[in-house]
Chains A and B, each alone.
Chain A
Amino acid sequence: DTEVTQTPKHLVMGMTNKKSLKCEQHMGHRAMYWYKQKAKKPPELMFVYSYEKLSINESVPSRFSPECPNSSLLNLHLHALQPEDSALYLCASSRSLQGAGANVLTFGAGSRLTVL
């Protein structure tokens, strides 16, 4: 299995809602990432997990809350979002943060989020 699976593909939520984005990989990768991408812009790093521990938080607002329940799963919990948070949210994984394969990312297809 060489895939990263993201659900849902599309999500529409109001500013008072609480929702979650989910990401799953079964490649045995030990590093997982969340990126945010606005239209016609490059992906921007949000969070990095290594061996289920948060390694990097790029000063992301607390209305985005990541969680890594185990080495195969990565969640992004959303609460009290703003319309400007509407974007494509991309999950990715890599073998690890060190050594061979580090930083070579396998991406999911993304979850397109619209905040009304």
Chain B
Amino acid sequence: SQQGEEDPQALSIQEGENATMNCSYKTSINNLQWYRQNSGRGLVHLILIRSNEREKHSGRLRVTLDTSKKSSSLLITASRAADTASYFCATVPTGTASKLTFGTGTRLQVTL
């Protein structure tokens, strides 16, 4: 079963613009991760934010976490065509060992 839902399902922007994706999840978590998947390929881990953190940065990525609202956002600044991919949030619900469960995903298209 899916733990998270992402919004929007699809996003189309121009190169240089910022892209924001949102993730909502259902149960308490220890951490939340974001992964990227290029079309038909494997997933690549981008960033992990712990439940006691509110914001984290990595290069052009900024992730926020609001555990009271059970939501997270991923901001990609100054987007590039190479950022075109699907982005998934992923969580391990507390008490479920290693069942890393992915959200529904956002398909990002960055055009020149």
Residues of A in contact with B (beta carbons under 8 Å apart): 4, 6, 31, 33, 40-45, 48, 50, 55-56, 58, 88, 90, 92, 94, 97, 102-110, 112
Contact = CB atoms under 8 A, between A and B. Distances in A.
B77 interface: no
Interface of B: 2, 31, 33, 35, 40-45, 48, 88, 92, 97-105, 107
Contacts, number: 64
A105 B40 contact: no
Contacts of A94: 98
A109 B41 contact: yes
Contacts of B100: 33, 45, 103, 105
Contact of A107 (B31, B40, B42, B48): B42
Contact of B97 (A55, A106, A110, A112): A55
